[in-house]
A and B are shown apart, each in its own frame.
Chain A
Amino acid sequence: MTILRDVAGMLFGMFMADRALSGAVLCLVGLVGIAIKAAGLHPLYGGAALIVGCVGIIAIVTMNEARRRRG
């Protein structure tokens, strides 16, 4: 049972190690999906939004983590 728990914990950690990052990525993908499929945004603009969003998320989560750890 310990092994199963470890595997489950590892799988969760693989994708959700930083909840802020995971939440932001899921929100971004959801928003871009809605914008393309429901609001009729041109897919290429959607692609650009996806790239810019991911870059922004990386920048914000690393800065927040650095600030938190350094006090």
Chain B
Amino acid sequence: MHAIAWSTAGPAIGSAFVASLVEFVEAFTIVLAVATLRGWRPALSGTFAALGVLGLLIAILGPLIGRVPLHLLQFVVGVLLLLFGMGWLRKAILRAAGVLPLHDEMAAFAAETAELTEEARRHKTSMDWIAGLAAFKAVLLEGIEVIFIVLAVGAGRGLLGWAALGALAACIPVLAVGAILRRPLAQVPENTLKFVVGVMLSGFGVFWTGEALGIDWPGGDLVLFALAAIFLATGLVMVGVLRRPQAEAAR
């Protein structure tokens, strides 16, 4: 990784860090449910098997990315970021406004535990196998999202290594706090993080899509901050607008 301008790398590292934090917390909840029910052996087996598959995916996708023409890569990544980022922002706005219920890690933990017990009863198979498979699936699915985010925010400017570093850095606090507490990380302000990620990824999406369409953004990479500010303001205004009818109805 060569010397970089922090105005360029900062948003990529920050987005990868925050988005990965959310995904790691969700995966951790399932792995913890498996470990609580059946012990750490199936939980860690499933986790490491999924990490192996994710490593294989990176090994295959990594070299391929370098062969795609930059403009095409920016366009595809830009549009996918718009779809993904605006999707997260939409959900975060609706949750913050009380239209959708907030994601509850304790409820997710309880649901996963109940589902595992029911699966084992129904299929009469080894509980360890089912538990390991649940951990495998959780880590694989959340991990794929992390890989996409790292590729999306890093590929357009050759910042894959830095974005990956941001994602890896997010893993450390989740594992450290999780290891100490040994319970779902319910105190993490997940919706606020999703709001921030939605804002940042939507900004990246507009930026990359525009570059691919030939837009020479005034201010270069710094326009990313302006784009993020626009999406943040939009999100906050919409939360206020959508909360109002509820407040009026309560009166």
Contact = CB atoms under 8 A, between A and B. Distances in A.
Contacts of A26: 79, 83
Given A7-B141, A54-B202, A66 B242 contact: yes
Given A18-B90, A21-B86, A66-B99, A58 B238 contact: yes
A19 to B, nearest CB: 11
A3 B90 contact: no
B217 interface: yes
Nearest to A55: B234
Interface string B78-94: 01101110110111011
Given A29-B82, A54-B82, A54-B202, A21 B90 contact: yes
How big is chain A's contact interface, by range? 35 or more
A61 B90 contact: yes
A33 B209 CA distance: 9
Interface residues of B, number: 44
Interface in A10-51: 10-11, 14-18, 21-22, 25-26, 29, 32-33, 36-37, 43-44, 46-47, 50-51
A58 B13 CA distance: 25
Nearest to A32: B213
B86 A6 contact: no
B145 A50 contact: no
A36 B214 contact: yes
A43 B213 contact: yes
Nearest to B149: A14
A69 B97 CA distance: 12
Interface in A51-65: 51, 54-55, 57-59, 61-63, 65
B210 A50 contact: yes
Contacts of A6: 137, 141
Interface of B: 79-80, 82-84, 86-87, 89-91, 93-94, 97, 99-100, 133, 136-137, 140-141, 144-145, 148, 202, 205-206, 209-210, 213-218, 227, 230-231, 234-235, 238, 241-242, 245-246
Interface of A: 3, 6-7, 10-11, 14-18, 21-22, 25-26, 29, 32-33, 36-37, 43-44, 46-47, 50-51, 54-55, 57-59, 61-63, 65-66, 69-70
